[in-house]
A and B are shown apart, each in its own frame.
Chain A
Amino acid sequence: MGSRLRGNDSTGLTRAFLPGDCPMSESPLIALAGVTKIFGAGAASMQALRGVNLTINAGEFVAIMGPSGSGKSTCMNILGCLDTPSSGSYRFKGVDVGALERDQRARLRRHYLGFVFQGYNLLSRTSALENVELPLIYRGAPANERHARAERALAAVGLGGWADHTPSELSGGQQQRVAIARAIVTEPAVLLADEPTGNLDSARGREIMELLTTFNRDQGITIVMVTHEPDMAAYARRVVRFFDGVVASDEQRTAQALAEPA
């Protein structure tokens, strides 16, 4: 892939990923500039992103909408540092993600990002508590701290008494709440949610959205959420619409509109 390297010194990058480092106030949390993504090569190649410009500041709650094939999932993968742009730049806290090695991106995810997926993606046959503890294990947290934080996170999503249950013993809504607990247990800078309510009925979906709203409001966690349900997008304060690999519209919702979701 043609990710453009900027000659960053690697020690500086490594330092930037240490936990607890303070964000550089002058740069936005997320800045995409002219990002393209091309899959495949030659005649069979497919251009998923055709120059996306997007800036997201700390504390925002952004919904990304758009028809399937519009590039929103590809964009989420790049935002989540799971993939790198073919060209253009993605700066996370001022750091050029495209120039990072695979393991450096993994460390960035570990310390700054939380993921919630449409299909929950919990470890099967593993208790809710152990699922929530998982990211803390990779952070090297001691066992007692892990337990305490995981239990607090479960309580925060309203599953205080369900710690010992495995995913197969939980309903879809409960499983997604475990997934949210797993995403927020590390107190990430950004929570990336890929159609978090896609597998749930609207009542369960609203519960999930209210949870996300709470974490955004109370803990200041930046949330970027892909959805194609307008009801769910209505919880966000900003809606970005993708069409054909570019940002087609980007609207801030007013405080009044937020007060009474559509």
Chain B
Amino acid sequence: MLWNALLLALRELRRNVMRSFLTILGIVIGVAAVITMVTIGGGATLQVTQQVASLGSNLLMIRTGQRMGPGGGGGGVAFRLADADAIARDVGALAGVAASASQNQTAIVGNESWSTQVTGVDNQFFVVRNWSVASGRQFIDSELRAGKAVCVIGATVRAKLFGAAEPLGNNLRLQKLSCQVIGVLEAKGQSTMGSDQDDLVLLPLRTFQRRISGNQDVRLIQVSVQEGASTEKAQADIERLLRERRHIAGSKEDDFNVMDMKEITRMLTGTTQVLTALLGAVAAVSLLVGGIGIMNIMLVSVTERTREIGIRLAIGAVEREVLTQFLVEAVVLSSFGGVIGIALAIAGSWGLTVYLEVPYVLNPAIIVIAFLFSAAVGVIFGYFPARKAARLDPIEALRHE
């Protein structure tokens, strides 16, 4: 009987192709929207995770001042180079410790000028940030010790100041300091937070302290933990060491903060997941609206086909059979909508991920859920019209014009 009802339903829908299509449009859009949102959201989450991993997922960032959200901090008593040395000496299982200090400065080459971030570092910076020089070289020890006027520039600075010209060996001016470009960093692109990672000029830390900042401050210590070692333990060890060195008594709060990149990953993925859930909820509302559309058309259909229902009842159809017929019709309609929506979503979200440069992660579970949901919409919103059809009085129905 169910098979018959299915054939009947298909025949009925074929008769009204245009109307059937318009009826299921709501479901199509709803299903497509839900799946697309979830797919894009999943891709964005993966991208964040990947970007943070490229930064080095074993990275700890130590800043002065109390935690003020992602990338926050600053203020408070600065670190000294000795603090970084102490961390390198006393905390185990570290792959590298890089002390740095930064300032925004205008870099000038000939007639071109560009405002950028100038950072004083040593070669440990390349280790902890997992960053290499694309052309030229890193600093050599004598340059670091003597505070020579040499620099390594990011890809953006190179493009802005040198254009097509060769930067290596040429000079770049920062305030009164003229320094020679000895290397160009590999391009890294945008960071997770949306800033351009390649917009920077690296100087030896000593050069930076003497010629740019004029003090001995170190504002950021980046530590990379050895592969397989616990970042939590390293973080705890560093916190203990720094509290001691900065004479912070037992109950007082830290005046510095150690941020685990893993934590940032969690925070960012948490944000994208909340956004995904929100957009998904909006899309689910459109599924509901689609369901109401189906109910509306099924009610119209029952009224239009009153005579047909009368004939069926007179011939000997029982209530259940008429109910099944209309219910199956509604479910077939909504499931069709679901299938078309899924197809659209697979294609559409692929296109969107390409456009947004986000990885394409199709979640099979959401497809199954969306399909089942669309079928359920048919059952729920088809039931009322179907019951109305089944309860018609055959005599009245046959008289209906």
Q: Give A contacts to B, CB under 8 Å.
A: 77, 80, 82-83, 102-103, 106-111, 113, 115, 117, 121-125, 134-135, 137-140, 182
Contact = CB atoms under 8 A, between A and B. Distances in A.
B322 to A, nearest CB: 10
Contact of B315 (A109, A125, A140): A109
Contact of B395 (A83, A102, A103, A111): A83
B254 interface: no
A107 B313 CA distance: 10
Nearest to B394: A82
A84 to B, nearest CB: 11
B316 A135 contact: yes
Interface stretch (B277-285, B304-312, B343-351): B304-312
Given A82-B395, A137-B4, A140-B1, A123 B308 contact: yes
A143 to B, nearest CB: 9
Task: Tell which of B4, B308, B316, B394 has the most Cβ of chain A within 10 Å.
Answer: B316
B318 A106 contact: yes
A103 B315 contact: no
B328 to A, nearest CB: 14
6 contacts: A103-B318, A106-B316, A106-B317, A109-B315, A122-B311, A124-B308
A125 B15 contact: yes
Given A83-B395, A103-B319, A115 B314 contact: yes
B395 A107 contact: no
A137 B310 CA distance: 16
Contacts of B314: 80, 82, 109, 115, 121
Contacts, number: 53
Given A103-B320, A107-B318, 12 more contacts: A82-B394, A82-B395, A106-B318, A109-B316, A110-B315, A111-B316, A117-B398, A121-B307, A125-B15, A138-B321, A139-B316, A182-B315
A106 B395 contact: no
Interface in B167-196: none
B313 A121 contact: no
A106 B313 contact: yes
Contacts of B307: 121
Q: Is the interface of B mostly helix, strand, loop or mixed?
A: helix
Interface residues of B, number: 20
A169 B312 CA distance: 22
A175 B152 CA distance: 93
Interface of B: 1, 4, 15, 307-308, 310-321, 394-395, 398
Nearest to A125: B15
Given A121-B307, A121-B311, A138 B316 contact: yes
B315 A138 contact: yes
Given A102-B319, A103-B319, A134 B312 contact: yes
Task: Tell which of B312, B318, B321, B398 has the most Cβ of chain A within 10 Å.
Answer: B318
Contacts of A103: 318-320
A110 B315 CA distance: 6
Contacts of B321: 138
A171 B311 CA distance: 20
A47 to B, nearest CB: 17
B316 A107 contact: yes
Contacts of A134: 311-312, 315
A101 to B, nearest CB: 10
Contacts of A115: 314-315
A157 B229 CA distance: 91
A185 B394 CA distance: 21
